[in-house]
């Protein structure tokens, strides 16, 4: 799924361009430049990969190859409400995979993707350290223990209702 750049992304990309222009060149700068780009944008869109490739005078495919090798880099923008489903041993044994599948189905995206409105993104994480509460999911910064497939829809709905309420409050002022 390719996301179009928002006005905010474009502003960050413009600022990134200036930073990259001032950065040293050389193959050893590839990972630091990718980290700089991701810190600025939250992810690595095609335009950022092209900036890095042009600055280092290397092929864009080589930049993508390095970025895709390391799991610290992401190619989709993070959602405002990132959903992280624990896949540690306790969570896995207690149905973490089913919880993940339910989030994917409800949000109509796959793991590693972000909804078109950039409200949600989904990722699996190795362990959140709350094994006694397995299975566990984090929605934003809120931990939800003893997750059940039936809880997924309610969590998503709650986030959407809170967003709508905040938008109505903002419109009143």
By three-state DSSP, how is residue 108 classified? coil
User: Is 131 known as a binding-site position?
Assistant: yes
Residues pairing with 137 in the sheet: 85, 144
User: Is 130 known as a binding-site position?
Assistant: no
Give the integer Cα–Cα distance in Å for 158 and 107. 13
The Cα angle at residue 105 between residues 90 and 88, in degrees rounded to 5: 15
User: Is 86 known as a binding-site position?
Assistant: yes
Q: How many residues does the chain have?
A: 173
| 86, containing H or E segment | strand 81-86
User: Is 91 known as a binding-site position?
Assistant: yes
Q: Write out the binding residues for [2Fe-2S] cluster.
A: 86, 91, 127, 131
Q: Write out the binding residues.
A: 86, 91, 127, 131
């Amino acid at each position: 799924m390719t996301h179009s750049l928002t006005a905010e992304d474009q502003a960050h990309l413009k600022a990134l361009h200036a930073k990259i222009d001032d950065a040293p060149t050389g193959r050893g700068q590839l990972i630091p430049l990718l980290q700089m780009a991701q810190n600025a944008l939250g992810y690595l869109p095609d335009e950022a990969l092209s900036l890095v490739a042009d600055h280092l005078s290397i092929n864009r495919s080589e930049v993508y190859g390095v970025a895709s090798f390391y799991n610290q880099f992401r190619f989709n923008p993070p959602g405002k409400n990132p959903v992280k489903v624990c896949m540690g041993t306790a969570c896995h044994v207690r149905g973490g995979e089913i919880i993940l599948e339910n989030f994917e189905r409800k949000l109509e995206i796959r793991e590693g993707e972000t909804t078109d409105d950039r409200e949600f993104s989904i990722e699996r994480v190795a362990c959140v350290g709350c094994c006694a509460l397995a299975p566990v999911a984090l929605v934003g910064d809120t931990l939800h223990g003893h997750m059940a497939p039936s809880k997924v829809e309610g969590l998503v709905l709650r986030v959407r209702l809170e967003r709508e309420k905040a938008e109505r409050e903002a419109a009143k002022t």
